[in-house]
């Protein structure tokens, strides 16, 4: 699959433009990947978004129970995460232009979250690893699957390994937040 097929729509008259599918929750204004991540964190606190993702994940694998949250909130979060993944992919593609490495220092384990020390020093490694293992479509499939299974009682469990994409997505949230924090300090 070509990279531009995933992120871009073609306009025969004008040059190619990127689409993040963010119009539902972030408006129609054209934004860069970093701007979209900033908007994501304006709507969703890091801790709250990780907790909501964790709750959705937990209810997706529980039988005979479903998430006790307003479906519209879950849908809006789902749309936001889809857009977040696309913004992460764009940042991953443009990583050579940016230098967001932190100086080497001893890091407290509480600051790391799920990130390794190496990933904490260079958060772009998180995106590189995530998109080496999974495509945008696979992240979409994962999110759609866990939302579907969390919102009702089903006899079947999700058919694929859902733990790895969940871990990657959680680490991507941590890495994106870290990138934005470092950007503000400059």
Find the domain containing 128 and state its range.
3-95+106-185
Least confident of 15-29, 56-70, 167-181: 15-29
Structural domain includes residue 151: yes
Residue-level pLDDT at 95: 67
Tell me how far apart the 2 most distant CA atoms of the chain are, in Å. Answer: 53
Structural domain includes residue 91: yes
| pLDDT beyond 70 at 106 | no
| Core vs surface per residue 118-139: b (16+ CB within 10 A) or e | ebbbbbbbbbeebbeebebebb
**Residues contacting 65, CB < 8 A, separation 6+:** 59, 153
Closest-CA residue to 40 (of 2, 5, 78): 78
Structural domain includes residue 64: yes
Check residues 98 and 132 and name the one with the higher pLDDT: 132
Structural domain includes residue 18: yes
Structural domain includes residue 87: yes
| pLDDT beyond 80 at 154 | no
Structural domain includes residue 17: yes
CA-CA distance, 158 to 10, in Å (whole number)? Answer: 34
Structural domain includes residue 100: no
Report the number of distinct structural domains present in the chain: 1
Structural domain includes residue 52: yes
CA-CA distance, 45 to 94, in Å (whole number)? Answer: 25
Neighbours of 96 (CB within 10 A): 7
CA-CA distance, 56 to 66, in Å (whole number)? Answer: 9
Mean pLDDT of 82-105: 74
| pLDDT beyond 50 at 77 | yes
Mean pLDDT of 16-22: 47
- Distances in Å between the Cα of 23 and the Cα atoms of 36, 78, 139, 146 are 11, 13, 19, 23
Residue-level pLDDT at 185: 76
**Residues contacting 71, CB < 8 A, separation 6+:** 151
């Amino acid at each position: 699959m070509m990279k531009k097929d995933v992120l871009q729509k073609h306009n025969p008259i004008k040059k190619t433009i990127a689409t993040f599918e963010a119009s539902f929750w972030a408006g129609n204004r054209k934004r860069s990947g970093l701007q979209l991540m900033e908007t994501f964190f304006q709507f969703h606190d890091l801790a709250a978004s990780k907790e909501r993702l964790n709750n959705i994940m937990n209810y997706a694998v529980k039988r005979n129970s479903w998430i006790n949250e307003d479906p519209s909130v879950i849908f809006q979060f789902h749309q936001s995460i889809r857009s977040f993944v696309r913004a992460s992919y764009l940042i991953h593609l443009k990583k050579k232009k940016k230098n967001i490495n932190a100086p080497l220092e001893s890091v407290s384990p509480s600051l790391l979250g799920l990130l390794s020390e190496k990933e904490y020093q260079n958060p772009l490694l998180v995106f590189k690893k995530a998109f080496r293992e999974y495509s945008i479509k696979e992240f979409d499939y994962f999110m759609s699957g866990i939302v579907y299974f969390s919102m009702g009682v089903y006899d079947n469990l999700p058919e694929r390994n859902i733990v790895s994409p969940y871990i990657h997505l959680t680490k991507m949230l941590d890495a994106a937040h870290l990138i934005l924090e470092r950007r503000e300090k400059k």
